[in-house]
Structure 1
Amino acid sequence: MDASSLRTGGIRDLSVGYPRTVTAVRRMRGHGLVGRRRRECRIAFDELPPAQSAPSTPSVVLGLLGPLEVIGAASIRVPPGRQQAVLAALALAVGRVVSSDHLVDVVWAQEPPDTARTQVQICVSRLRRLLEPTGATIETQPPGYRLSLAPEALDVHRFHALVRSADRLVLEGQDLEAVTALRSAAALWRGPALSGVDSEALRAQATRLDEDRLVAQESGFEIELRLGRHARLIGEITALVEAHPLRERLRAQLMLALYRSGRQAEALEVYRAFRALLADDLGLEPGPELRELERAILTADASLRAPDPAEAGVLSTGAVSTGALSMPPTDTPTPPVGGPTAFQLPTAPADFVGRTQTLDLVRSVLLDDPTTVGIAVLLGPPGVGKSATAVQAGHLLGAEHFPDGQLYCDLRAIEDDPLSPADVLGRFLRALGVPPPAIPPDAGERGAMFRGMVADRRVLIVLDDAGSEAQVTPLLPGSPQCGVIVTSRSRLTAVPGATCLEIDVLTVPTALRLLSQTLGRERVDAEPEAALALVHATGRLPLALRIVAARLTARSHWPLAGLVNRLADERRRLDELSHGDLTLRAGMSLAHDGFDPLAARTFALLALLTGPTIPAWAAGALVDDDRPFPSDLTEPLVDVHLLDAVGVDVAGETVHRFQELVRVFALEKLAESADAPMQRAAVERFTGGWLTLLTEANARLLGGDFLQIDGGSPRWTPPQGYRERLLADPYRWFETERSALRDVVELAAAHGLVTQCWELVVRASIMLERRGYLTDLAALHACALTAVDAAGDRLGAAALVEVANSGLRDRYDTATRRALLEQALADLLELGNRTGEGLVRRQLAHLLFTTAGDDPAGHAAAVDHGEQALAAFVDRGDLGGQWRTLMLLGREAAGHGATEQGRARLAEALELAHRTGDRRAIAQVLRASAGADTADGRTDLAEEKLTAALELVRELGDPLGEAMVMRDLARVQLGRSRGAEARAALLASRDLFAELRQEAALGEVERMIAALG
C-alpha cells in the first residue's frame, strides 16, 4: 500500500469507488484549497441545508429501496404478487414504455397462462386506481405501458442523484457536504431492494441496486476516515462486514478504523479471520492491498496515522452525524474544567441493537438548543430496554459532548426503598469531589451546591427508573451546557423542559439480530422458523429475548423449537421467561401493585379482548361504568405502561392495545380475580356495546331499525355524548373497527353467547355488504353458523340463512338456496317472527322470479311471496323492507308486460326510499327504474337515472353498487350505439367485480366485453 494513499484517507479503493476523486483531492490539498474551504464553513455537519447535497425535490411517491411502497396522502398498500411485480417493473423504467411481453415475463418466469396479457391488463387497471391519490398515472402506449411520474419522486432516482452529488462535492473539496449526501442516500433504504416482490426477472435489477448501496456506503466510509472519524465508524463498518464477509474494501476500512482507535490487535484479527475464511471456503488469499495494509499495521507505518483535524477540515465545535447520534469532530475528550471528574455510567451493553431513531432524538434533545438544559425522558413498559438505551446514549454522547463527567444513579422507583432526591444529590456531590462533612444535610442546600458545581461544566446526568416528577426535578442542573437522560415507566410529563420519548418493542429484524448476538448466529441460522417464533412469543421485548438467550445458552443441548413449545402455553409463559435474576413478571407486578381496585379490575378484564386494538368504550363495558369519558378508566394503566395508547377513535377518545407479554400477565390477574360467570358477564356487556353501536349505525344509514332480525340479546349502552360523536359518520366509524369484528364474534362464541354471536353478524352484514367486504362477511357467517348449529338455535340459523342469501348468494347453488330459505321460513313462521318472515319471503320471491322463466306457476308463487313479505313489513312498520319489496315487485311487473303497475310500484318504492333518507336505497330504486325504462325503450330516461345512481354510490364509497350500475349503464350505452363509452364502463365494472370476488357477475361482464370484439 502506498504511503500517499494511506495519508489521504487510509486505503485505496478495493472495488468500485472514486479513483479520480482521490487524485483531485490530493491536488487541491497541495494548493491549500481544501483546508481553507472547510475553515470557512463553520457549520455543524447535520445542520447543512439540504440544497448542499441535493436540490429540492418532491416527496417520494414510489419506494423500491426496500419493500415496494406507494405513498399518497397516506401509505397505500399494493397487493403482493402480480400487482407489486408489474408496478416495480414500470417504476424501474419510469418515463419509458415497458412492453406487455416484458410484464408477462416479470410476472411469470416460465409458462405464462393463456390469459397472461389479460391478467396484466387487470393489474394495470387496478394499479391506476391505487395510484390516483399520488398523481402518478399509467398510460397505455403500444406495445405496452408507461408510468408517468417525476423521476425525483422515486427513491431509486433520488438515491443515485445523491450519490452523484457526493462524487461532485468530493471533487470540489467539500468532504463534509459529500458525507451528508451519502448519509441522506443511505437513509432512503428500508431494506434490500424490492424485498417481497416475487419476480425472477427483477432479481438482477434488485441485486444491482443492493450493490450500488454497498459501494456508496464504502465510499462514504472512505471520506469519513479521511476526516478522522475512525472511532465512531467501527460499529457501523463491523455490522456491514458481518453482513458481507467477502468484501475486501470493507475489511480494509474496518482494519484502519480499529488501528487508528488504538486497537491494533483487533485490526490484525479482522485480517486473520478474513484470511482463514478465504482459505477455508475458496482456497484464496487476501488481495495485495489488504496484505499491504496488514504489513503497515504490523510495522506501525507512519502513513497510517490519523489525519490532523485542521487538515481534515473538522472544527472543534462542529458536530458530525454518524447515523445514530451526532458526534464532535475529534476523538479526544476536552479536559474537565477543574476538580475531579466522575464517569459513573454502567458498561455499555455489548449486545445493544437498533434504536437508531431514538438515539438520534436523544441527541437532538440534548444538543440542539444551546440555551437550555436538554432533558430526554425515555418511557416504556417493563423490559423494553429503556435503561440500556439511556446507557448507550450516554456512552455515545458522554465523553464527546459532556467531557466534564457523566453522573448515573438508579432511582429504584419500583422497589420498596426508592432513593430520595437528597440521597441522590449526596452521591453526586461526593462523586464531584465534595468531602462528606462538607455536604449540607438540607436537600435544598444540596441542590444549590450541586447546581453551582456543574454551572461551568459540561456534565451528563442519567437518572434511571424514576418514579415521579418530584423525584427528578431537584436533580436537574441549571447550566445549558449539561444534559439529562431519565428513564421511567410512569409518564413524567410535568418535568420542566423535558421531552418524552416513547420506547417501543423491537422490530422483527432487530429482535432477530439481538437474538443472534446474544445466542449466537449459528444456532439462530440453524432454526430460522423457531427463532422467528421466539421473537413473537417474547413480544419483541429486549429483556424477554435476553432471558430466552440466557436459558438456551445455559442449555446448549436444547433446540430453539423446544423453548418455543414451552412458551406456547400462555398460562406458563411468564414462568418460562425467567432465568436467574432476569424476570419479567417482577417488574410488571410492581407496577400492578400500585393500582386501586377499579384499575386492577379494569386491567384484568381487558385481557379478555383479543382484537387488534381495544376500543375506547370497552373498559367501561367490561366493568359496567358509563362515565362520559371512558379513557379515564384506562389512563392509570397507560401511565405505568401496562397498556399502550395507540391512537384515538373518531370521537377523540383513546384506543388501546396490550403488549403481548403484558396481556399474558393480565390473563394471570384475570384468573386470580374473576371466575367464569364474572368473565361471561363482562363479555356479555362488551358484545352488548357492539350491538348497540351497530344497531344505531344501521338506523342512521337506513332511516330506522329495518331489514334485520332481532334476537333480543342484552345491550350495554356507551355514554350518549360519546356515542353521538362516534357515530356522526357511521361508515367512518365502521371502517376503523371492522378488523376487530371477527375477534368479537369469536369471543361471544367462546363464552357461550350464541344469540349475541349471530346478532353481531346480522347487524354488521348491511355495512359489510354495502362496502364490498364480502370475504369478511363470509368469515363472520361461518364462525356464527358453527355456534348456532352447536346450540340448535333455530332463530339464529334462519337469520344467518337470510344474511347468506343477501350478501353471499353467489356462494350457493339455486337448489341449496331455495331449500335453506324454505326451511328458514318454516322455522320463522313457527316462531312467530314477523320481520324474519318478511325478509325470507322477499328472498324467496327474488329467487323464484330469477328461476321461473316462462313458468306462470313459478311467477305466481314469486308474486305471492312478495305480497306476503310486503304485508309483513307493513305490519312491522319496516320502511326498508317495504321499499325493497316494492322495488322487486315493480321491476318484475314491468319486465312481464305490466308496465303501468310496475312503474307505480317503483315510484312508491322511490318515495319510501326518500323517506328513509337512505341514499343507497335511492340509488337501488333508480337502478331498478332504469331497468324498467330500458325494457320499455326509454333509454334516454334510463341513462339519466343510472347516472344519478352512479353519483350516489360513488359518494357512498359503495364498490359493489358502483360495479352493478356501471354494468347497467354499459348496456344502455350499447343500446344507444355508444360502444367506446360502453367498453370503458364495462372495464371499470369488471375490475370492481374482480376485486370483490363476484365470480358470476365478473363472468357476465367479461362475456359482454368479449362480444364487443
Structure 2
Amino acid sequence: MTGVHLESRDRSAGFTFQVLGELKVFGDQGAVPVTAGRQQVVLAALLLESGRLQNCDHLIRLLWAETPPETARTQVQICVSRMRKTLAAAAVKAVIETRPPGYVLQIDDTALDLNVFRRGVADAAALGGEGRTAEAAALLRTAVGLWHGPCLNGVPSDALVRVAEHIDEERLAATESFVELELALGRHHQLIAETARLVVENPLRERFRGQLMLALHRSGRQAEALEVYRQGRTLLMDELGLQPGEDLRLLERAILTEDACLRLERPAGTALRGTEQMPGAPAGPEPEPAAAEDGRTAARAAVPRQLPVDTGDFVGHQRLVAEAEGVLTNTSPDRAPGIVVVTGRSGIGKSTFAARVAHRLAESHFPDGQLYCQLRGGRADPVDPREVLGRFLRALGLPGPAIPDSLEERGAIYRSMLADRRILVVLDDAVGEEQIFPLLPGGRSCGVLVTSRARLTALPGAHRVTLDILDERSSLELFGNVIGADRVHGEPEAARALAAAVGGLPLALRIVAARLAARPLWPLAYMVQRLADERRRLDELTHGEMTVRASLSLTYDGLAETDRTLLRLLSLTKGSTFPSWIGGALLDAPDAYPYPSDLMEPLVDVQMLDVAGVDATGELRYGFHDIIRLFARDRLAAESDESERRAALRRVGGAWLALIGEAQRRVFGTHYIGGPAVRWNPPADHVRTILARPLEWLDTERENLSLTVESLAQEGEDGYAWELAVSLAPFYEARGYLDHWARTHRKALTAVRRSGNRLGQAALLASLGSLHLNRRNLPEARRALTTAAGLFEESGHTKGLGLCHRDLGLLERFAGHDTAAMDLFARAERDFGDGDPWARASVLVQRAVILLRRGDFRRVEAELAEALEIWRDLGCLGGQARVLQRAGQLHLHRGQLDEARTALSEGLGMVRDEGDVIGEGYILHDLGQVHARLGELTEAGAYFARALSVREDILDQAGAASVRVDLADLSLRAGDSAKAGGLLTDALEVFGRLGMAEEEERAAGLLTRVTADSTTEDR
C-alpha cells in the first residue's frame, strides 16, 4: 500500500478541510469559522480543485451565475483576501496563490478528506487487481466512512451543488464496490441489513438491488430475493415506464432456476448465460498476464457509447428495421458476426436508419458498448482504416502510446479486444470494401452496421438493406412530426401534394417541413405554390444529386445575405463537426453577437446546419449533412471570389494558432517556435471557457486541427500550415497521438518545400526529430535534427538551434555517448540564452542523468532546484514531475532512501493527475529500486511488476528490458536462478538490438552470476 492510511483519519480532527458532508475547516485550536455565503463558495471551489488554477471568471459564475455585478471581480478578490487572513490566523497550513487569471489553493494531499477518499479508492482498486480482496474491501469501507453527509451540504451555489452530486456518485460507486467484494468473500449474511438500507435510500439503483437479491439468495431466502426484484420492477414501471435492466432480469431468472453460477465458489470460467458477470457474483480467478493478449486486460473495463443521436421523428422502413435487427441479433451457434450494409442514394436517410437500429439494440443485445465512426466516403478525403482502428482502440481503453503503428498490428489487437465482448460497430458512409475489411471483428458476439452509397457486394456474409423513398403515409407522418399533426389534418390535400412534389425523398421532406415549422402562419397550400414555381428543378429530385441541390436552393434563397455567406464559407471546414466560434472567424466578426453560436443558429433553424452536440468544454458543436456541404461548396465556387475564400481560410488558421498558443502557455508555460502567420483572436471570454482544460479541448478538436493543417498545406498557405503543425506537436506528444503528429508534419513539410520556406522546413524537421526519438528511431531522428540544425543556423534562429542541440544531446545520451551529449547540452544552453527559462529547465533535467552517472551530485542538486523553480513559476506540472523523478534518483545514488521515496511518490501523483502513462512507468521503476535498496523485496517486486506492465502496454521495449534486469536481480537474491536467467536473456536481446551498451553490460554481468549459480548447483 502506497496511499494514505485511512484507518488513522476517522474524525474531523484528522483533516484540515472537510467537504464530504458540511464544509468544515480545522486548525490547531479546533474548528475555524468560515463566513456563510460567498466565502464558503470560493473556498469550496478552491478545495475541489486544490493544486489547480481556478479562473476568476469561473468563481464569478459560481457566485452570481449569469448576472454578476460590475464589482464582481473586486468582491472575489476581497473574499480571497479575507479567507487568507482567516486561515493564517488559525495557523492552517494552506496557501492561496494569486496566479493569473485566478487562484490556486496549495494544501497537503492528506489535508482534504476528498483527496484521501479518492486515494483510498484507487489503492483499493490496486489491491483488488492483485487478488487481495479482503484488504480492498476493508479499505473501501474505511474510505466511504469518511463521509458525513452529502458533499458540500449547505453551500449556497447551484453550480457547486451539481459538481457535488457527481462526487456523491463516487461514494455510491465505492459502496457498490465494497459490497460486491464482500459478497465474493462470503459475507452475505452480514450484508443483508446494510444492502436493504441502501436499496431503500437508492430505490432506482439496480446494482444495490441486485446485491441485496444475491445476499438473500445465498442466505437461503429465495422468496424474499424475488420479492425485492418484483418491488423494483413495479417501482421502475411506475416511476419511469421502464423494465429492469438486463443484469437484474438475468439475476431473477438465475434465482428461479437455481443457476449454479450464483454459488459462492463456481468453476473458473463459468458465467451466467447472456452476460459476463451478475452484480455481486464472484469473479473467477484473474487470468495470468500472459493469458491476456498483448497485456491489455485493463483496457477491457472501457465501455464505449459512441452512437450519434437517434432521430425522434423517424418514420417508415419498419420491415427493413426488423430485417436488419434479425441479422444483427441472430444467435445461432454457426453464425458469423452479423453484418448489415445499408445502401441507397444521397439523402435517402441511411445514417438515420442506422442510428435507429443501433439504438434499439444497444442495451439489449450489445451491452458491452457501441463504436461509431463517420468514414467520409462521399468526400475526397475518406478516413483511413488505420486511423479508425486507432480511435476505436482508444475508446476501448488502450492508452495512446500503446497503439502500434501498422494497420495489421492494430487490427490484431482490435479483434482480440472484441473477441469475447458484445459490441456493435457502426461504420457510417463507407467508400468501399477496402475501408471496411480491417474494421470487422473476428468473433461471433459482435455486430457490424455499415452505411454506404456503394452496394459493397464484395463484402462476404453481409446482408444488404436497400432504402427507397418514403410512401405517402410515411411522408405525411414525417410532416406531422415536424410541423404538427393539426396542420397536416387541416390541409390534407395540400399535405399530400407536398409529399408527391418532393418525391418522398427524406432529406427534401425534412427541408420543406423545417421551413413550414419556422413559419407557423404559412398555409401548406402556399408552400405547394412555391414548389410549383420550381417545378423544373423539383422534377429532378428523383434523379440524383443535382435535384437535391435544387431543392436546397429553396432554403438557401430565403436566407439573409450574411447567413448565405457563412454557409458558403463553412464549407471550407473538413471536420465532421466544428466549434461555434469558427463562424466569427470565417466572417471576421468576433463581436457580432453576445455568443459565438448566434451566428450559426439561423442556419440551424432552417436545417442547413445541424447541432451535433455539446463537447467536454461545454461548447456547442455543429455539423453538415454531406449533401448540404456539397451544395455549400457549389455556392462558394459560384458566388465567392478567390480573395474572399483565402482570407477566410487564413483567419481560421490564425484562430487555431491563437488558441493553441494560449493552450501552450497554460499547460507548458511557454510558446514554441513561432512564425509570421497572423493570429485571429476569438472572443476572450469564450477562449477562457473552452481552454479551461486545455488537454481535454485538444482531444475534442484534434480531428479539426489535423484537417486544418492539411487544408492549409493543400491551399498553398504553407506559413500557417507549418506553424500550426509545429505548435500541435507538444500536445500530440503529451497525449500519445503520434499518428496525428506524423501526418500533419508530412503534409506541411510538402507545402514548405514546394514554396522554399526554409524556416518552416527547419521547424518541421526539428519536430519530426522529436517524434523519431519518441519512437526510438535513432537514425531517422539524427538525420532530421541535423538537417534542421543546419537550416536554423543559416537563418540565425537561435531558439530553434537550441532545441535541435538539446534533442541531439538526448539522442547521444540514448546511444551511451555521454561526453558528446554534454557538449550538445552546453551548446543548447548557449543557444537559449537567458530569455527562455522553460528551454533551460528542459536541458537541466536531461543532463542530470549523465551527471548522476558521473557522481557530480552537488551540481545535480543545484540544477534540479533551479529547474523545479522554473517549472513551478510557469505552472508546468509535467516539468515538476520530471524534476522530482530526477531528485528521487539523486537521493537514491546518495543512499538517502526515505528522501528518494518521498520525492518519487510526489512525482507519481503528478504524472497520474496529468494522465502521463509514460512518466508513471519510469517512476514506478525508480520506486522499485528504492524498495530493493531498503531490502523490502516484496514491495520492490510489486513496483517492478507494475512498471513492467506499463512499459509493455506502451510498447516501450527498452524500458521493459531495463525493468526485467531489476526483476532478475530480485530473483537471484531470492535464489531463483532459472527465472532470473529467462528475464536476462530477454533483456539482452533487446539491448543488443537497440545498441544499449551500458544496460547490456549490467545484464551480462548478472547472467554470469546465474551461470555460476547453476554450475555450483550441478556440483
TM-score norm. by structure 2 comes to 0.48
For CA contacts below 8 A with separation 6 or more, give which structure has more relative contact order: 1
TM-score norm. by structure 1 comes to 0.49
